[in-house]
Structure 1
């Protein structure tokens, strides 16, 4: 029979494992409904998304936790490659504790991060906070008609000083935060029959009430550019299956329980 100490140890291990099981995209309650979601492989980040083939749009909610209060998170698309440099990104951070996150657009041509225009149309951009210090970036973007995939990039980074984002850490995880997001094919989600979640019916991509087409907008304000971006890349998506995560963690729990009980 198992001793009391062994059972307590197993329960303690279960407590450490259970957060890993619960922290999946399928358990997150983002404020907009999406067709699919994936647990991104590094930086404890998640992507909820819907691809609408009818109007070549991709609507996303990117979820990540800044390493420290005042740090930033970002998600974007690289139209020409698979690296961070060259990416067209949405970057968000909380200006102070408890404040609503601010989001702006960044055309990343160097590690000196400054706001700039994107090379594709976008709309309905906003950021929100979630319990656990999570930040969510919502955006809808125009992708090339008939594109099979886009090169997505994501990042969590350095402290924001006077509204200026600092350089992100150079850990292996930070350097590996790029993957291909499949839009069509057997491993891609079904296309949405109507307009993408969060898009404004009847409005042209890249436009929003009060916005100036072709100009970068300030923090928390949707904006637009007039030049469609180009997207493409390798054939394999970089998703992690929720069921695999659960199975691995449950298997570890059972194995540990067997060792300590018997």
Structure 2
């Protein structure tokens, strides 16, 4: 048997041992210190980012865990939604970073055209906000209240290099194709997603 034939056979055998779902989802293996449960998870298409979520239709709440690594050490990550449309205006973001002692911090920001992310309160209810940091990766946790009977919400995610210590504003992120493409619809009634549990 030629080398090429052996290589093709080996690849075929490996493919038989790995299911499509294992190939498709990194998020299924991710662990959380707070032991939270989520009904769904998805590997987001850009910036090595992941979203775990549960939608509760009875009270129109969305519980999420967003996972990503900052673009630089000491940088920030952000997950945002706009329940009122797909424009950047009035998009509301959770931004996490580590403070000087390595403790993770997460705050709410509102995105305005020409001004970027500005610290501010959300125009809808949000609770159970927290963050974790380990091995260079940040995780944001929160529950948000959405309009009733919503089936899809527009989400955005981003990573950046750091926080301006004077203003508290996130420093500008890169404008590479991956950064510009980091948005899209999140189907709240999606099926066939991966069940996940965070473990210590």
TM interval, short-chain normalised = 0.7 to 0.9
Q: What is the aligned partner in structure 2 of residue 25 from structure 1?
A: 27
1:173 aligned counterpart, secondary structure: helix
- What residue in structure 1 maps to residue 121 of structure 2? 117
SS in 2 for 1:174: helix
**1:62-101 map, 5 Å:** 62-96=66-100, 99-101=102-104
**Judging changes above 3 Å, is the alpha-carbon distance between structure 1 residues 157 and 23 closer, same or farther for their aligned structure 2 residues?**
farther
Structure 1 residue runs of 5 or longer lacking an equivalent are: 15-19, 191-196, 198-262
Contact (CA 8 Å) 2:73, 2:161: kept in 1 or not? Answer: no
Q: 1:68 to 1:22 in 2, by over 3 A?
A: farther
- Could you list the per-position Cα deviations for residues 55-75 of structure 1 after superposition, in whole angstroms to 9, with x for gaps in the alignment? 110000000001111111000
1:135 aligns with 2:138: yes
On the 8 A contact 1:183/1:189 being kept in 2, the answer is no
| CA apart distance, 1:78 | 1.2
Count of aligned pairs between the two proteins: 175
Structure 2 unaligned spans of 5+:
15-21
1:182 maps onto 2:187 in alignment: yes
TM-score (norm 1): 0.60
Alpha-carbon distance in structure 2 between the residues aligned to 1:100 and 1:52? 30
Q: Hey, what does 1:45 align to over in structure 2?
A: 49
Q: Assess, with a 3 A threshold, how the Cα gap between structure 1 residues 54 and 80 changes in structure 2: closer, same or farther.
A: closer
Write the distance in 2 (CA, Å) between the matches of 1:102 and 1:2: 57
Sort the Cα spacing of 1:121 and 1:188 in 2 relative to 1 into closer, same or farther, 3 A: farther
Name the one with the larger strand percent.
Answer: 2
SS at match of 2:179: helix
Q: TM-score, normalised by structure 2?
A: 0.78
What's the C-alpha RMSD, in Å, of the aligned pairs? 2.7
Task: Output the CA distance in 2 between the equivalents of 1:67 and 1:136.
Answer: 14
| Greater helix proportion | 1
- Distance verdict in 2 for CA 1:118–1:142, change over 3 Å: same
